[in-house]
Chain A
Amino acid sequence: MNVAYYPGCSGKGTSVEYERSTQAVFASLGISLRELSDWSCCGSTPAHATDARLSAALSARNLCLAADTMRRYDATRFTTPCPSCLANLKTARHHMAEAKFREQVNKLLDSPCPAISDKGEDPLPEVVSTLQLLVEDYGLDNIAAAVRTPLSGLKIAPYYGCLLSRPADIMKFDDPENPTSMDRLLEALGAEVVPFPLKTECCGAAMGIPRRDITSRLTGRILETAVTYKADVVAVACPLCHMNLDLRQQQAKAAGNASYKLPVLYFTQLMGLAYNLPMSELGLDKLAVDPSEILHKIGKEVSA
């Protein structure tokens, strides 16, 4: 199975373990991730907060690259692990369905995007999250079948973040209030999923830099709730959520006067653990909060 792949900028930096574990898991499942050649930044929040056309143009360049990649490798799906990139790509495609907007965006590009056909078919491809691809296309049964070390005994709080399923009419994935895709994926890995009530509550995103107090409060609430629900680990699907919950966990604890130690792993890292993939491919040593305790629960060590 070939899929066009857009890693997103943080994949090489702050979320390198997400990128690495995603690559490892997909390879082990026989899905070839065909990275768009010479992809560029989608602009993330800074772009869409600055101007709609600029943001759409930055995304459109990559959508055109994706179309090429899909043609070249005969891929039927285009995916990205980062919800922010996902939102930008999807929003650009959605708004560019309107002719006047498409025209304005095209003027910003080196070569304009091909037009929508008379039948209403858009040559710019649809894009889905890696989570959606795994759960819907690959299937939970296949995900369960590949498990070698069931994550039994692990209580996981699934944290989706605010972007994956909202706004519903653009993201078109799962339930915007109580999504369950990751829950089912984790259960397929053998883990116990706690009924976490803050699944889509925003962690504070990039606000951590200019206003640390806001992010600390929001992140702190998510972590404290997960602790109240007796979770051993929080599973995430977003580089920024991970950064706030893991890297900034100390800041959140300090602001909230709390003491807990809650490892935060990407769901792909948890999949990698369940599939017995080599530790070097999962990047667990990159985590700020030491995951040793939960690894011991399933009979593993951080370094192979």
Chain B
Amino acid sequence: MKIGVFICHCGSNIAATVDCAKVAENARAFPDVVFSTDTMYTCSEPGQEEIIAAIKAHSLDGVVVASCSPRMHEPTFRRTVERAGLNRYMFEMANIREHVSWIGKDREANTNKATELVLMAVEKLRRNAPLFSKKFESTKKVLVIGGGVAGIQAALDCADAGLKVVLVERETTIGGKMAKLDKTFPTVDCSSCILGPKMVDVAQHPNITLMAASEVTGVSGYVGNFTVSIKRRATYVDWSKCTGCGLCTEKCPAKKSPDKFNEFMGPTTAINIPFPQAIPKKAAIDPAACRKLTGGKCGVCAKICPTGAINYEMKDEIATEQVGAIVAASGYDLVDWTIYGEYGGGRYPDVITSLQYERLLSAAGPTGGHILRPSDGKEPKRIVFIQCVGSRDKSIGRPYCSGFCCMYTAKQAVLTKDHIPDSQSYVFYMDIRAPGKMYDEFTRRAIEEYGTEYIRGRVSAIQPDGKGRYIVRGADTLLGKPVDVLADLVVLAVGVEGAKGAGKLAETLHISYDHYGFFMESHCKLRPVETNTAGVFLAGACQGAKDIPSSVAQGSGAAAKVIGLLSKPQLENDPQVSSVDIKRCVGCGKCVDVCPFQAITKENIRGEIKAQVIEAVCQGCGLCVATCPQGAIQLSHFTDNQILAEVNALCQC
């Protein structure tokens, strides 16, 4: 073999503590090395040209570059050697920056270590074999999970690009949390007015299939070829017949059913349409509240429905879809704030969440847009807003900032003044986070123009005074005093976490998630809408608490990734995958059990059970290799022999 070695200076990043010329000189003595040099910046254009020239001049069939971490430039150099006519896997990198020059100052020791790392790379390269990707077809269809504003945006962008889209939404209507808002900051736009047209576009787009009241229950396959099973919940109303006229709602006798859309702020009927602009505008029955479904008595809606759409016998159905990519846009939910006993633990009727308050503010809400105290229906005059309930709180395991509560509280304070001109609002805050465009100016307006009292300090406790009002015990840390406010209504800016069931959805999609239920992106800075699972992307609050503009941007970002992925006529797989030597395989199946991606199956080969790897699904993690008792399964480009060659090289130094 003829190997060329290139030692990079990386300016002074490496050269400051490593004698690169010496390393290059040492490498000349290594087996199969016919060319060795050091360069200023190997990844630069002249640096890459130098590699290509050397390959041609010395007929090299393998290259080692000693420079930064492969995570930085391995793809770059692989493409370089490919341009010179070599197979891209006849290339190895030695990390002499993050692993050597950046962690120690001893020049001699560093130079020694760099030399050893280069030797290891050379020895591995000597055992490398060319690898070739396989091309495979992809389905030009995308699954979007979650019909909030992020999912809606992703669906519309993909559909506009000509892809077929399946949008699966858990509730009976799309719109997510944004549909629950009255107005949005910082413009105080009406939320349904700006979201409504997008929701209608989704319903009418020829490329979008909307599945509401549905949940994804299983995903198998691999990028470009996912098979998804979707549970379509029984709504007990045939949506192909329902016109959304609402007669059933008027006549339903079960008038005290819990109203999830209105955050349980008022009763609704067992059969209902959540809000006037719901998409799909179809009725659905809550089986736990319906008298016919629980007790067998009633049936009024079936009698009254002009199209005969009611069907009490409806069952859940499973639909199956083949898609090429998946966008997770499952959104967020509020943290369980009732664990704060000092705020009443949910026992005080006039201590409510920001989302509940939003429903009171909304004209389509349970009070017709009038702010009324839940306890006695009277109009409150003194409203206290408490920020950071469940955010920035290590004691409940939620140390992070939820990012948008400062903004919506300012908005709610502004709206409160509009609704009740003679009211006085107080906001207890720790810091005001208003980073977006026109955000800080908006919070200042709440204070300067709308007379909201902002008090810097947290609230220790809310104590009912026994006469219908609440003593809010807070502090003004700027003045250095404890302060009390006698409130008629208290609104808690509750922190957010991943939506309920996020963990289970993540496991279904084979993606990672954190303690708070947020899905993990590939790289927190540079790859915010991708996951480490090929073909699965993220958009919106499911990836981390964020406001509407960021969610919409991520929706479009995820769509761009999907469109890019599926625009290629065929996809290429990464050939660094496992393969089974069926001569050694005894069919024990341990690898099948241990594979996190279900990439290994048991096949019957000439009458014997053998393991077989689905190359397109295999992510090259190597768990199967470590598990196999026979050594029958090997990971290409990281075979036992290749790795042991590196170990031997090191042991002999």
Residue on A with the closest CB to B463? Answer: A197
Interface string of A188-230 (1 = CB under 8 A from B): 0000000101100100000000000000000000000100110
Complex alpha-carbon distance, A178 and B467, angstroms: 20
Question: Is B467 a contact partner of A177 (Cβ separation < 8 A)?
Answer: no
A229 CB, nearest partner CB in chain B, Å = 5
Complex alpha-carbon distance, A137 and B189, angstroms: 60
Most buried by A among B340, B341, B342, B467: B341
Question: Is B463 a contact partner of A198 (Cβ separation < 8 A)?
Answer: yes
Question: Is A176 a contact partner of B341 (Cβ separation < 8 A)?
Answer: yes
Question: Is there a chain A Cβ closer than 8 Å to B186's Cβ?
Answer: no
Question: Is B345 a contact partner of A228 (Cβ separation < 8 A)?
Answer: no
Partner of A228, one of B341, B342, B466: B466
Partner of A225, one of B341, B342, B345, B465: B465
A66 CB, nearest partner CB in chain B, Å = 32
Question: Is B466 a contact partner of A229 (Cβ separation < 8 A)?
Answer: yes
Question: Is there a chain B Cβ closer than 8 Å to A103's Cβ?
Answer: no
Knowing A175-B341, A177-B342, A177-B345 touch, does A228 contact B467 (C-beta < 8 A)?
A: yes
Question: Is there a chain A Cβ closer than 8 Å to B299's Cβ?
Answer: no
Question: Is there a chain A Cβ closer than 8 Å to B589's Cβ?
Answer: no
A175 CB, nearest partner CB in chain B, Å = 6
Complex alpha-carbon distance, A201 and B341, angstroms: 13
Interface size on B, residues (CB 8 A): 10
Interface string of B328-348 (1 = CB under 8 A from A): 000000000000111001010
Question: Is there a chain A Cβ closer than 8 Å to B464's Cβ?
Answer: yes
Question: Is B466 a contact partner of A177 (Cβ separation < 8 A)?
Answer: no
Q: Which residues of A contact B342 (CB under 8 A)?
A: 177
Residue on A with the closest CB to B341? Answer: A177
Interface string of A13-34 (1 = CB under 8 A from B): 0000000000000000000000
Interface string of A176-187 (1 = CB under 8 A from B): 111000000000
- At the interface, is chain B mostly helix, strand, loop or mixed? loop
Question: Is A178 a contact partner of B341 (Cβ separation < 8 A)?
Answer: yes
Question: Is B345 a contact partner of A178 (Cβ separation < 8 A)?
Answer: yes
Interface string of A149-193 (1 = CB under 8 A from B): 000000000000000000000000001111000000000000000
Q: Assign chain A's interface to a size class.
A: 10 to 19
Q: Which residues of A contact B464 (CB under 8 A)?
A: 197
Complex alpha-carbon distance, A178 and B463, angstroms: 12
Complex alpha-carbon distance, A225 and B461, angstroms: 15
Q: Which residues of B contact A195 (CB under 8 A)?
A: 347
Complex alpha-carbon distance, A269 and B388, angstroms: 44
B89 CB, nearest partner CB in chain A, Å = 55
Q: Which residues of A contact B463 (CB under 8 A)?
A: 197-198, 201, 225
A88 CB, nearest partner CB in chain B, Å = 25
Complex alpha-carbon distance, A198 and B471, angstroms: 11
Complex alpha-carbon distance, A229 and B467, angstroms: 8
Complex alpha-carbon distance, A228 and B467, angstroms: 7
Complex alpha-carbon distance, A115 and B347, angstroms: 46
B318 CB, nearest partner CB in chain A, Å = 44
Residue on B with the closest CB to A179? Answer: B341
Interface string of B460-491 (1 = CB under 8 A from A): 00011111000000000000000000000000
Complex alpha-carbon distance, A195 and B349, angstroms: 14
Q: Which residues of A contact B467 (CB under 8 A)?
A: 228
A106 CB, nearest partner CB in chain B, Å = 34
B336 CB, nearest partner CB in chain A, Å = 15
Complex alpha-carbon distance, A195 and B465, angstroms: 11
Q: Which residues of B contact A201 (CB under 8 A)?
A: 463
Complex alpha-carbon distance, A228 and B465, angstroms: 8
Most buried by B among A177, A198, A225: A177
Interface string of B341-360 (1 = CB under 8 A from A): 11001010000000000000
Residue on A with the closest CB to B464? Answer: A197
Q: Report which A residues bind B (CB closer than 8 A).
A: 175-178, 195, 197-198, 201, 225, 228-229
Chosen A-B contacts, 13 in total, with CB atoms closer than 8 Å, are A175-B341, A176-B341, A177-B340, A177-B345, A178-B341, A178-B345, A195-B347, A197-B463, A197-B464, A197-B466, A201-B463, A225-B466, A229-B466
| 3 tightest A-B CB contacts, nearest first | A177-B341, A228-B466, A178-B341
